[in-house]
Amino acid sequence: MIEARGLTKRYGGTVAVEDLSFGVRPGSVTGFLGPNGSGKSTTMRMIMGLDRPDAGHVTIGGRPYSGLSWPLREVGALLEARTFHPGRSARSHLAALAAGGGIDPARVDAVLEAVGLASVAGKRAGTFSLGMAQRLGIAAALLGDPPVLLFDEPVNGLDPEGVRWIRELMRSLAAEGRTVLLSSHLISEMALTADHLVVIGSGRLLADTSVAELTASGRSLEEAFFALTEASATYTAERNR
């Protein structure tokens, strides 16, 4: 489980995230929605301990990321696609991660097969398309078989078949009882994938609710999302006058 409480992050005079609190529970896919620049990636980086909040805190299973004994076995994350040495093969990249994380080497070929990269496991990762790089990043996230998973825009660069595969993968991981946080700019796809939604705008929480509740009035998820973000934009403009 992920718990964020009062997260605030500033870059100079810009507030990227403001007093943000939400929870991500196991057994369902939680969609993380917000316009570009709304603070989604910054929030995910704070969850993973890559950025330090100016206020508030975030825990994973009751502990900050820095307090995890075996991070790769407890949390898997895809925050950027090309986080590998371009000269290494896909298999070598994952083997190095496994060795550093105390993970059974047999997991390397297992996750390469799971993400559809087994046939190119010996090729240099630097030659991969964006879609293949995304699949390698997902393989790295799954390597330690962790109970908590974060994916930032994992469908970028994937063809329609790949997008469907991501949808099925996310739902299958949640069905196994894992905690899954998924960000995407594809609202229609989120409607098919997520059970719960955390919506933010200008770094503030706009909604923390189920997809069913957000669309209960008969509006589509896209209509409900734009109504929330337009209200947030109006509030931000008035506050900054």
Q: What is the mean pLDDT of residues 110-139?
A: 96
pLDDT band at 176 (very low <50, low <70, confident <90, very high): very high
Is 90 exceeded by the pLDDT of residue 220? Answer: no
Q: pLDDT tens across 125-134, in order?
A: 999 999 999 9
Percent of the chain exceeding pLDDT 90 equals: 76
Is 50 exceeded by the pLDDT of residue 237? Answer: no
In sequence order, what are the residues at sequence separation of 6 or more whose Cβ sits closer than 8 angstroms to the Cβ of residue 23? 1, 2, 3, 4, 208
173 token code pair: 């991981």
Q: Which residue has the higher pLDDT, 181 or 187?
A: 181
pLDDT band at 236 (very low <50, low <70, confident <90, very high): low
Strand pairing category for 14-24 and 28-33:
unpaired
Containing structural domain, residue 201: 2-239
Total number of domains constituting the chain: 1
pLDDT at residue 187, as a whole number: 86
pLDDT band at 136 (very low <50, low <70, confident <90, very high): very high
Q: What is the 3-state secondary structure (H, E, C) of the chain?
A: CEEEEEEEEEECCEEEEEEEEEEECCCEEEEEECCCCCCHHHHHHHHCCCCCCCEEEEEECCECHHHCCCHHHHEEEECCCCCCCCCCEHHHHHHHHHHHHCCCCHHHHHHHHHCCCHHHCCCEHHHCCHHHHHHHHHHHHHCCCCCEEEEECCCCCCCHHHHHHHHHHHHHHHHCCCEEEEECCCHHHHHHHCCEEEEEECCEEEEEEEHHHHCCCCCCHHHHHHHHHHHHHHHHHHHCC
| Nearest C-alpha neighbor of 22 from the set 10, 31, 12, 14 | 31
Is 70 exceeded by the pLDDT of residue 238? Answer: no
Is 60 exceeded by the pLDDT of residue 235? Answer: no
pLDDT, the chain, mean? 92
Is 90 exceeded by the pLDDT of residue 214? Answer: no
Beta bridge partners of 150: 77, 181
pLDDT at residue 231, as a whole number: 63
pLDDT band at 172 (very low <50, low <70, confident <90, very high): very high
Q: pLDDT tens across 80-103, in order?
A: 888 899 999 999 999 999 999 999
Is 80 exceeded by the pLDDT of residue 240? Answer: no
Q: What is the mean pLDDT of residues 32-46?
A: 92
pLDDT at residue 219, as a whole number: 82
pLDDT at residue 122, as a whole number: 97
pLDDT band at 216 (very low <50, low <70, confident <90, very high): confident
What CATH number should be reported for the domain holding residue 177? 3.40.50.300
Is 70 exceeded by the pLDDT of residue 27? Answer: yes
